Amino acid sequence: MKQTVFNPIHKQLGAKMVEFAGFEMPIQYPKGIIYEHLAVRKSVGVFDVTHMGEFEIVGPDALNFVQKVTTNDASKLFPGKVQYSAMCYHHGGIVDDLLVYKLDENKFMFVVNAANIDKDYNWCLENAKDFNVEVKNISDEINLLAVQGPNSLKTLQKLTDVDLEEMKYYTFTKGKLADIEMIISRTGYTGELGFELYFRGDFDVAKQLWDAIFEAGKEFNIEPVGLGCRDTLRLEKGYCLYGNDIDETTNPIEAGLGWITKLEKGSFNGSDVIAKVKEEGPKRKLVGFVGETEKFIPRHNYKIFANGKEIGFVTSGNISPVLNKPIGMGYVATEYSNPDTIIEIESRGKLFPAKVVKIPFV
């Protein structure tokens, strides 16, 4: 298993370590997932997300290449701006969802899911053949911390001259934080105010940053948080997880990602298929639902029924620590996708009632 530069720190803190996307990662720390989840919702938590992948795209055709391989309109980007996007295959299925950073006039950075690094990189290389562009996988060089929660700004502002208050959502800047050169970005996968810190360096540099952040956040009861609560936090906001809610069999329109799929920008991978689905209307849709029964946890691939017939399946589910109710997402036949529709989820041969709701849950 690969290890991130923060690995010894997690172990010293007593984290429960698991294999995730080829990395040994902390799933939770001794206080537990619910405690960590609420720490991020109410104050501030720190995630090690160094396992994520980063690709650098450089060259005269960089923009044209990005336009071809991603669904969003990268011509709207300027240096310092970030965009949520997706890459699709020619059949319209999703290769991955990703962040696109415009670093400079002819220079971009893709931030991709850890489990998809090799697949995404090969897909980019295959597509790059038609363009005057160089795609470089820099994932092993980059360390990444996500500092998330209402007190993230107050915590990090103590460590940098960059005016974090001025940073708009989905922008980034280059600067120093805790005396370390880095990209400071304001996106996030929790739905809370938050920042991502991309930097290079060995364990000593990483420890310097970690210690400085935890010292600065002490007054806010800052907590280290693992991948377990990363999942419950994103689920409460209805954010898609690749491999669960979206994959090569799902189309951006049925996944509710039409807002990052800009057909008007011109041809891109899968655009003709996606346009057809949009025009005809998808046969199924990704919806959110809330369980009407306590002590029931909807799980990936559980079947969904309505009026006695099977209409879809669960993609993600858990107990929401904020609502204290079972919540989930799943694909259902389009006629059952309206809010307030009553559905049933099968678990161990029993059917549990649930109600379709508008996302986000929290």
pLDDT tens digits, one per residue of 255-273: 999 999 999 999 999 999 9
Section 172-191 average pLDDT: 97
Quick: pLDDT tens for 308-317: 999 999 999 9
Enter the CATH code of domain 53-140.
3.30.70.1400
Q: How far apart are CA 115 and CA 98, in angstroms?
A: 12
Whether the predicted pLDDT of 294 surpasses 90: no
pLDDT cut 70: percent of the chain above it: 100
Section 322-340 average pLDDT: 97
Quick: pLDDT tens for 218-268: 999 999 999 999 999 999 999 999 999 999 999 999 999 999 999 999 999
Find tokens 């893709």 and name the residue: 110
Whether the predicted pLDDT of 161 surpasses 90: yes
Architecture, CATH, for domain 2-50+142-235: 2-Layer Sandwich (3.30)
Quick: pLDDT tens for 84-135: 999 999 999 999 999 999 999 999 999 999 999 999 999 999 999 999 999 9
Section 37-44 average pLDDT: 98
Every domain of the chain and the residues it spans: 2-50+142-235, 53-140, 283-362
- Count Cα atoms within 13 angstroms, Cβ side, for 199: 27
Structure tokens at 143: 């360390």
- Mean residue pLDDT of the chain comes to 98
What per-residue string of b and e applies to 147-176 under the rule 16 or more CB within 10 Å gives b? bbbebbbbbbeebbebebeebeebbbbeee
pLDDT value for 170: 98
- Count Cα atoms within 13 angstroms, Cβ side, for 225: 29
pLDDT value for 223: 98
Section 54-68 average pLDDT: 98
User: CATH number of 283-362: 2.60.40.1760, 2.40.30.110, 2.120.10.30, 3.40.920.10?
Assistant: 2.40.30.110
Closest CA to 178 of 150, 203, 199, 148: 199
Quick: pLDDT tens for 193-214: 999 999 999 999 999 999 999 9
Q: What is the pTM of this model?
A: 0.97
Section 160-182 average pLDDT: 98
Residue 45: its H or E element? strand 45-48
pLDDT value for 295: 82
List all residues 6 or more positions away from 171 whose beta carbon is below 8 Å from its beta carbon: 80, 81, 82, 185, 186
Section 279-299 average pLDDT: 95
Q: How far apart are CA 55 and CA 58, in angstroms?
A: 10
What per-residue string of b and e applies to 44-76 under the rule 16 or more CB within 10 Å gives b? bbbbbbbbbbbbbbbbebbbbbbbbbbbbbbee
pLDDT value for 208: 98
